[in-house]
Amino acid sequence: MIPLSWYLAVAAVLFVMGFYGVLARRNAIAILMGIELMLNSVNINLLAFWRYVHPTDVAGLVFAIIVITVAAAEAAVGLALFIALYRLRDTVNIDEVDLLKG
Amino acid sequence: MVLQGVFIIVSLFTLLSALMVVTHRNLFISALFLVSTFFGVAALYVLLEAEFLAVAQVLVYIGAIATLIIFAIMLSRGMMQGRTSPYNAQAMWAGIGSVVLGLLLLYVVAFQVDWPVTDAKVPADTISNLGAALVGHYVIPFEVASVLLLAALIGAVMIAREKEY
Amino acid sequence: MLDPLILGEWWKSFLEGLGLSSGWIILINAVVVTVILLGFGLTSVLFLIWLERKLAARVQDRLGPNRLGPYGLIQTVADALKLMTKEDITPDNAERITYNLAPGLSVFAVLMLLLVIPFGPGLIGVDLNIGVLFIVAMGSIGIMAALMAGWSSNNKYALLGAFRAVAQLLSYEIPMVLAMAAPVILAGTMRMNGLAEAQGGGRWFGLVMPAMFIIYILAALAENERTPFDFLEADSEIVAGYHIEYSGLKFAWFFLGFFLNTLLLASIATTLFLGGWQGPFVKQVPILGPIYYFIKTTVIIAFFMWERATFPRLRIDQMMAFAWKVLVPMGLVLVLAAAAVAKLPVGTALQSVILFVVNVVVLLVALGAIGRHLRKEAERYKVEVRPMPTMS
């Protein structure tokens, strides 16, 4: 049997890598990839707790499904925004998108 | 024993892929490593006996989100910027902050707290319970999620449209 | 009697007699099942390629391969050897790892489906609780392989071809999922073996819901990139789409994946809509199960090949319009109807009749709407020579 703390450790390391990706990368799409990593680590956490603390109650599964759904919606809107941004400013480098107008 | 070995291999694969996602300078290769991270996470879900979530993860994340990300990368020429450094100005502070956060999470959450672990088994009819719960007890989050998806669909189409002047 | 499962029992007792622990037994069983399924899959591909060429040839009033072996059966082996000896060109500046990985990934996505097809009562690789969802998920991996192949070739036209192929695959995945949802609603389970068992007694879902079956067949043709949705191979389109830059053995992998996909999509259609291994006297003589399955699958595959030999191909905008404006609304209405009828407090036979009537009505309405639209378009483009009307 795999102890719960191992799953939490994997989720924690994945979360930290996503966190680093969001803060340290220059391309907007790379930042979105970091956000997806963080959402995945949250899902691992939810399912680990569901499996080890309350396996008979489907609340953990429902929560994880809703998180996947919200991640999909947010990725779609985020990428649409980046494409529109690329059309306007010809770059998706967040360092260069620092003025409100022009 | 075998299960623990499988878990270690799968989680090492996942974490190494995630590391390559956030450090590789070529954005397309980053996206492919993201796909392999999603695969690894799906394998972890199978180890957690949540097979439905594992297949949903492959279907939604790899089939939809990763494809969308790759399309966006191609449409915004992100891959041409493989020559310059992928990090921005605050990368070093971000690295230090991340390591501190990681140690905090690992030490406190994973290994210190005594979580109320039970030995109960996952019931065999979990999927039908899940289906019944989604339209029974949890119908409001379900409906709100579908409205959210509709709004995201319409919003994404409107935002990314070519402006006709 | 004559039960192929007896072989499985004998094998299990043999392994236990050898005194191995249960972990090793599971591993050995997994390897043996994998080898059997792979052998079946790959040899059927050899047969299917021959069948395709012979069938297309006979439709076109010629002979087809007839020199190598009796009736040309060895032709495919000769083709495979030829492809193996071709020069393996890698384009300049192509991403090596992705370029080499893409053909393998596209075959992997299809091979995984072999695991969940029920060949007979109890003859299935893994009876997953979520078999149907697994099939849909493996389809989405094939999309990733197409994107990888197109991008890593370092060729603008390959990339454009990959975009269009992915657009087609994604668009037709939705009618396919809807078409797979209706039998799941009627059978009450997502297990593939459960779906085959629920069609006992002549209640084949393809007969109860003919419109859904048609939607599945059309979506499967498009997922397989066959005519009339095969602009990937059209010489007037972007030639060879995302496998322009692949030669030799790597192209052979794509070719293999194409025919494996044909076999598997036809198998899934058989299991979901034509009753899988069900047929007369299957309970008494279980060996008849695989035979019925093979007959039904071959009929559907022959139908696919017959379509290829008969119809011209659609343009990409016609194809996308057909998917989104015709198949998706039809699929949604039919799934709603199936769910509603399955909850009616009448007997199963009456439910099947009502569902059949609803299907026929929806089919007629859809055909009428398409016909009216096409007639309006023909009016618009009225010239002396009647052109091919568009559907967008």
C300 by Cβ neighbours in 10 Å (0-12 / 13-18 / 19+) ranks as buried
CATH number of this structure's domain B1-81: 1.20.120.1200
H helices of C286-327, where?
288-310, 316-321
8 A C-beta contact, residue B67 and residue C144: yes
CA distance to partner chain B, nearest, from residue A100 (Å): 18
Q: What is the DSSP letter of C200?
A: -
Most confident of B70-79, C167-176, C312-321, C378-387: C167-176
E strands present in C162-217 = none
Determine, for residues B44 and A69 on separate chains, whether the beta-carbon distance falls below 8 Å: no
* Nearest by CB: A25 against B22, B106, B149: B22
Q: Mean pLDDT of all residues in chain C?
A: 86
Q: Residue C238: what pLDDT? A: 62
Instruction: Assess whether pLDDT exceeds 80 at residue C230.
Output: no
Chains A and B touch (3+ CB pairs under 8 A): yes
Q: Containing domain of residue A89, as a range?
A: 4-96
pLDDT tens-digit map of C239-289 = 667 888 888 888 889 889 999 999 999 999 999 999 888 888 888 888 888
Q: Tell me which of B11, B38, B100 to substitute to probe the interface with A (most A C-beta atoms closer than 10 Å).
A: B11
pLDDT tens-digit map of B29-87 = 899 999 999 999 999 999 999 999 999 999 999 999 999 999 888 887 755 555 677 78
Higher pLDDT, A51 or B87: A51
Using CA atoms, how far residue C347 sits from B160, C185, C195, C341, in Å, is 50, 16, 19, 11
- When divided into structural domains, chain A yields a total of 1
8 A C-beta contact, residue B65 and residue A40: no
Beta bridge partners of C123: C120
How many Å apart are CA A25 and CA C30, to the nearest integer?
A: 43
CA distance to partner chain A, nearest, from residue B25 (Å): 10
ipTM for the predicted complex comes to: 0.92
CA distance to partner chain A, nearest, from residue B156 (Å): 5
Q: Residue B16: what pLDDT? A: 96
B94 CB neighbour count, 10 Å cutoff: 19
**Which range has the worst mean pLDDT, A42-46, A70-74, C112-116?**
C112-116
Q: Residue C240: what pLDDT? A: 67
pLDDT tens-digit map of C14-28 = 877 777 777 778 888
Does A89 reside within a domain?
yes
What percent of chain C has a predicted confidence (pLDDT) above 70? 96
Q: Residue C136: what pLDDT? A: 92
Does A101 reside within a domain?
no
Q: What is the CA radius of gyration of chain B?
A: 20
Query: Residues C301-326: what's their mean pLDDT?
Result: 89
Q: Mean pLDDT of all residues in chain B?
A: 88
